[in-house]
Structure 1
Amino acid sequence: MTLHSLTFKYNFTMYKDKQQMIAKIVKEQRIQLNYTQKDLADISNISLRSIQRIEKGEVTPRISTLKILSKFLNFTLDDLDNNQLNGSKKRVTFFREVTISILLICIILLIATAYIAQSKTFPETDFELLMYYSVVNVLLGVILIKLWKNKKIGLLTQSKGKVS
């Protein structure tokens, strides 16, 4: 799998999630206001077929259509952004957490290897070298488990209200 296909698959999934999220909000608001799809189509001047396709999540409506729907269904476009951010923010945060964990592993192993490279007397045997790396790996595992368990790694990955 190439980077391009992975990026496409991720973006396609995000796109489908957005369609489903819009579909859910439009349908819930319509039902809450006791409108049929036909009623909504009549008052909003949007075709019945378009309303049906939006509610099924088959299409992502244009921004002008969303503005009209938001006017008649009493939701704001900010509601859509907030719902979308909540879903995608979790994915982005998870990828950041994994990336930071991998970076932490690489840095600690690099420092451990640098210590051995500069030392003339340590390790004297292969057993000492294996024990040294075993201790480093156990400590690294404990650190990562504590960070993930206490969600401290999440604090390192949070951005100020933005999802990049």
Structure 2
Amino acid sequence: MEITTLILLLLVPLLVWRIYSRLKTLMGRNPSQLWRHYAYGLLPLLLVGLLAARLVDTPIALLALAAGAAAGAALAFRGFKRSRLENTLQGFFYTQDLRTGVVISMLFIGRLMHRAFELYLQMHDHIPLPPEMFHQMPLTTGLFGLLAVYYGAYHLLLARWRRTQKPVSALKQFDLPPL
């Protein structure tokens, strides 16, 4: 192995730790905004639909995408139940289930890093790149379906919760007895 490959391998744990710490801060307490929930809910589902349309010729990848999407929807319901939802005087807030969100995100990011390292080694050894496209690999499409549908369904569930809530008034906040 050459020195550049070794340096790349040594930098991978640092990169993983940095991505993990960034995800952890992003999944903290966030303000709930309806437009953001709808945008984050519909865009990933639209991307899954577009990818499914491109994968009609490769049924194994399409099946992996559907399986990942089903698992993502189930995990979104589970993650929503474990989320902390707040209706305060300052507004609406939510705190996502950290374990589920980080694990799903890191699985997909790990797959991207693995695939990028494979491509780097193939280009380094002057091996021609495989004819199959990145999006046609069943593992990649399955993990993308898992990630996209998880976040899409989760934010649509947050939008549903938010629409059913009424803002808290100052008197209700302190539960004062009537005079």
TM-score (normalizing by structure 1): 0.28
**Structure with more strand by fraction:** 2
TM-score (normalizing by structure 2): 0.27
**Structure with more helix by fraction:** 1
Tell which structure's C-alpha radius of gyration is larger: 1
